[in-house]
Structure 1
């Protein structure tokens, strides 16, 4: 009798362990429900990021090589070129190149109905910028205000602002520079078929997108960056 109870107890333990293992296999703690295309898109993003990082590393290697090969006045020239390049990347200088110009104007219906003119909301402008930033290596200007990595689009005291400066009531222009005319054409086609046109129209605005031009100029950012950490060493130190 004692052996029978012992055997029954062992079977209960084995059955419990089998049930737990089966439940674990059938219901994993975290299941990846992404399809093949989602995984491929994620892989493509990672490869693109990897390529961009390699490009930055090459640029830094070239700059370092210039410093190592320079002496005296040549070293100063190499440093000046680096500073100029950094100013350009930071959006502190005027830039001219291939791009497109977009006029933001009130819709004809709003004018005909006498709808009071109002500003483009920060949310709508932010969505426009985010959609356009799918294209890499672009420079953008909104109503004469240069967008950089430090730019902010906000509502300040009821006014839509870029870099803390108020954006004018429409009509105003948005300018976008690209690395080459081919990218400008792709951006032009993207915007022509984008839902952004409907979003602006629902807010009583129309985006008049001009065809790509070989020479479009965007102005540099007006305010200067504040240097809080770098200090100039005394001469001879």
Structure 2
């Protein structure tokens, strides 16, 4: 009888352990589900206008890439159909065009002149001029590019894709040269200067500059000449395909 009782007690103990494990699992699953209901997945909090604006920027970048691919394919096709002498001429023209797009040559066209000047209210004493930070310049340049700018220069410094804009010892440097104190001028070329001017007038950059007590005064210019980029172009990120093509001899 004692052996039978021990077996019964052992079975009951095992049942209790199994029931406890099951209850623990069920409780854990219920807790996870309850927590997921309390803390839903974070959603994009941007409003519809911001999403549409970002979408337009990305679509414009995609369209530009398609156009660049089409231009490259056309150049390759023309290059293959010409004689050796004509190929050299085409190659030279392509290099010149690439240098122009990269900002390595002086360029002239119509555009907008933006003067950055301090805002003074009332009889405020002009003891210290506000400074242009790299963050402000980056915001402005990004907006200008999205508004259709093709070439930009800050005073005598040509801005290209690899232009460094940094803060060093209390001064903002562009192309490793310190910017002069405000007021200073920013020159922007565009195929549609009037449209660019309208965008600048309502841009967020005006608000950001205003917070730092700076004002953006934009005006149309029929002819603007931008200097060439004189710095060293960094090609660290380029990958060269060194594969050698072989064919039948």
Q: TM class, shorter-chain normalised?
A: 0.7 to 0.9
Unaligned runs of 5+ in 2: 1-26, 241-249
Counterpart secondary structure, 1:170: coil
Matches within 5 A, 1:87-166: 87-109=99-121, 112-166=124-178
What TM-score results when the alignment is normalised by the length of structure 2? Answer: 0.70
Q: 1:197 to 1:137 in 2, by over 3 A?
A: closer
Aligned equivalents of 2:122, 2:143: Cα separation in 1: 26
Report what 2:228 is aligned to: 220
| Larger Rg over CA atoms | 2
Counterpart secondary structure, 1:123: helix
Report what 1:200 is aligned to: 209
CA RMSD of aligned residues (A): 3.8
Report what 2:182 is aligned to: 170
User: How far is the alpha carbon of 1:223 from its aligned partner?
Assistant: 1.9
Check the 8 A contact 1:140/1:146 in 2, yes or no: yes
Counterpart secondary structure, 1:92: coil
Unaligned runs of 5+ in 1: 1-18, 231-237
Aligned equivalents of 1:221, 1:85: Cα separation in 2: 15
Report what 1:69 is aligned to: 81
> 2:194 aligned with 1:185, yes or no?
yes
Counterpart secondary structure, 2:146: coil
> 2:67 aligned with 1:55, yes or no?
yes
Counterpart secondary structure, 2:115: strand
Aligned equivalents of 2:158, 2:30: Cα separation in 1: 60
User: How far is the alpha carbon of 1:45 from its aligned partner?
Assistant: 5.0
Aligned equivalents of 1:146, 1:157: Cα separation in 2: 22
Check the 8 A contact 2:154/2:185 in 1, yes or no: yes
Number of residue pairs the alignment of both structures matches:
226
Counterpart secondary structure, 1:133: helix
User: How far is the alpha carbon of 1:158 from its aligned partner?
Assistant: 2.3
What TM-score results when the alignment is normalised by the length of structure 1? Answer: 0.73
Counterpart secondary structure, 1:131: helix
Aligned equivalents of 1:26, 1:60: Cα separation in 2: 57
> 2:221 aligned with 1:209, yes or no?
no
User: How far is the alpha carbon of 1:49 from its aligned partner?
Assistant: 3.6
User: How far is the alpha carbon of 1:137 from its aligned partner?
Assistant: 4.9
Q: 1:116 to 1:23 in 2, by over 3 A?
A: closer
User: How far is the alpha carbon of 1:189 from its aligned partner?
Assistant: 1.5
User: How far is the alpha carbon of 1:146 from its aligned partner?
Assistant: 0.8
